[in-house]
């Protein structure tokens, strides 16, 4: 789990990061959380976003689209929420959920850094 803790810490070092979680989208359970705020309950947000991931996976399946999801972006008035399903065999069924402060974050750079962090996660 040391690699997971390091990955979560690295995600929190992304400019504008509010919180990050590694989530199992089959159960909605979190494997790790870092950050958060009184306004953002990461456990609840992570569990709720499992529905988003499952719905998108089902839609791709119904449309017979063979592509995998790189990430899902939810844009709020003051925040970006990035959802990145893990592509590795060991990470199958998991996603990284990252909440960013919109006024402080560079979305393109955050996506790039999250991709690098994903490659370092060991389960």
Q: Which domains does the chain have, with CATH numbers?
A: 1-120 (3.30.450.30)
The predicted pLDDT at position 120 comes to 81
Q: Is the pTM of this model over 0.85?
A: yes
List per-residue pLDDT tens for the chain, 123 residues long.
558 889 999 999 999 999 999 999 989 899 999 998 888 999 999 999 999 999 999 999 999 999 989 999 999 999 999 999 997 665 678 999 999 999 999 999 999 999 999 888 876
Long-range own/partner contacts, residues 53-57 (CB < 8 A, 24 or more apart): 53/25, 53/83, 53/85, 53/95, 54/25, 57/25
The predicted pLDDT at position 29 comes to 92
Give strand pairing partners of 84: 96
* Helix residue ranges per DSSP H, the chain: 2-12, 42-62, 107-120
Phi, psi of 56 (to 5 degrees): -70, -40
Give strand pairing partners of 20: 34, 98
The predicted pLDDT at position 90 comes to 58
The predicted pLDDT at position 36 comes to 86
Angular region, 28: left φ>0, alpha ψ -120 to 50, beta rest: left
């Amino acid at each position: 789990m040391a690699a997971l803790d390091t990955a979560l810490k690295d995600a929190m070092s992304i400019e504008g990061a509010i919180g990050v979680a590694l989530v199992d989208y089959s159960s909605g359970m979190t494997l790790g959380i870092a950050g958060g705020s009184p306004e953002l309950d990461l456990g609840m947000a992570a569990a709720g976003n499992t529905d988003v991931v499952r719905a998108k996976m089902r839609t791709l399946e119904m449309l017979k689209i063979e592509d995998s999801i790189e990430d899902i972006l939810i844009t709020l008035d003051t925040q970006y929420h990035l959802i990145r399903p893990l592509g590795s065999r060991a990470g199958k069924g998991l996603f990284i959920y990252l909440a960013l402060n919109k006024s402080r974050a560079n979305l393109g750079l955050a996506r790039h850094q999250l991709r690098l962090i994903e490659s370092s996660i060991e389960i």
